[in-house]
Amino acid sequence: MSPGPTRRARIVGTGLIGTSVGLALRAAGWQVSLQDPSPTAVALARDLGAGTIDDETPDVVVVAAPPDVAAGVVVEQLDRWPDAVVTDVASVKGAIASGVAALAGPGSSQRYVGSHPMAGRERSGAVAGRPDLFEGRAWVVVPMPDSTPQAVETVRALARAARGEVVVMTAEEHDAAVAAVSHVPQVMATLTAARLRDRDEHAVGLAGQGLRDVTRIAASDPQLWTQILAGNAAGVREVLLDVQSDLAAALDALGALADEAATPHHHTPERDAPGARAVLARLLDDGNRGRARVPGKHGGAPTAYDVVTVVIPDEPGSLGRLFAEVGDAGINIEDLHLEHAVGHPVALAEVSVLPATSDRLRTHLQSTGWRIH
């Protein structure tokens, strides 16, 4: 390993994450070389500016390979570059760490440190790569029991160079955490979206922003996610068993209420389904409480915003003009959601702002001709 800050990285695997790592490191002034089994994929990543195609000795190797082959690729890179630190960026860590420990030669696993940038997109491939993909996102660093302090610091430095926020965890802690915050949400989004597969076209046409939000990640790559779920099967199953318990409670409550509705009698508190509404209310309240724990902007505590809903024409430049008007009012947009109106060439822009500024924004936008809901 060369002394001083790490500046030479090799990216093995030039899909979305690998290309984004290369772009981010190049933007930070690093020298980056690229490797991929596909000549077309590596040439595309090179042409996009993620790095060069050469065999210059790296300080650190980033393995951006699918989870089911990542351990083998890590060991190959440890053997090929005996002075380099090697990390991987797969979204499961325990299985890969075990594979490396079993396959690596004596002492070489000391140069391996797992990692996982908590960022991604629904799109895959090098063309979806972005240099800012990791900015402000947690980048989990997962040392092996025998990883050297120098190797750990090298991977931390790489994550910081890509503008990630370093979080250090064990493999077990990581896999339990991502089961709850990443892997099970993927399963739930997928199962919800699958319910639409055979629905009547007119029924699906009623979908609004809520359904789009819930099912957004259901468009992810099935092959990749099969590998991820297989690699963290125990952790995902444990969380899904909790979900199963809540679903069973919801089904029992809904069944009781459905029976009640089908019974021709005058409803009284004594004759209504005992406790069914309380069960549903508890489940919904639990969801509120869990949602409130999701970090807000920049990973801070969630902030309550006011939403100003603005009607905008569905035409080029409309959103830019709205942004300019909000900027002219001296107000920051904290968040934004767009919902297109069914059957009308307009959209609803839900502009989230700090509560102290919402009335001023409404007044300003109305005075400049925007329609406010």
Amino acid at 272: D
Q: What pLDDT is stored for residue 106 in this prediction?
A: 86
Q: What pLDDT is stored for residue 301 in this prediction?
A: 65
Closest to 26 measured CA to CA, from 41, 11, 37: 11
Q: What pLDDT is stored for residue 346 in this prediction?
A: 81
Question: Residue 12 in 3-state DSSP?
Answer: strand
Q: What pLDDT is stored for residue 260 in this prediction?
A: 87
Closest to 145 measured CA to CA, from 105, 186, 97, 191: 97
Q: What pLDDT is stored for residue 287 in this prediction?
A: 96
Place of tokens 């090697």: 86
Q: How far is CA 85 from CA 164, 293, 328, in A?
A: 19, 36, 49
Q: What pLDDT is stored for residue 298 in this prediction?
A: 60
Which mean pLDDT values do the consecutive 10-residue runs of the chain (373 residues) have? 69 96 97 96 96 95 96 97 97 96 92 95 85 95 96 97 97 97 97 95 86 90 93 97 98 94 66 82 96 76 84 90 93 87 77 93 93 89
CATH 3.30.70.260 fits 306-372, yes or no: yes
Q: What pLDDT is stored for residue 124 in this prediction?
A: 80
The sign of the dihedral angle between the CA atoms of 277, 279, 283, 286 is positive
Residue 117 CA to residue 67 CA, distance in Å, equals 14
Per CATH, the homologous superfamily of domain 8-171 is: NAD(P)-binding Rossmann-like Domain (3.40.50.720)
Q: What pLDDT is stored for residue 66 in this prediction?
A: 93
* In the chain, domain spans: 8-171, 232-294, 306-372
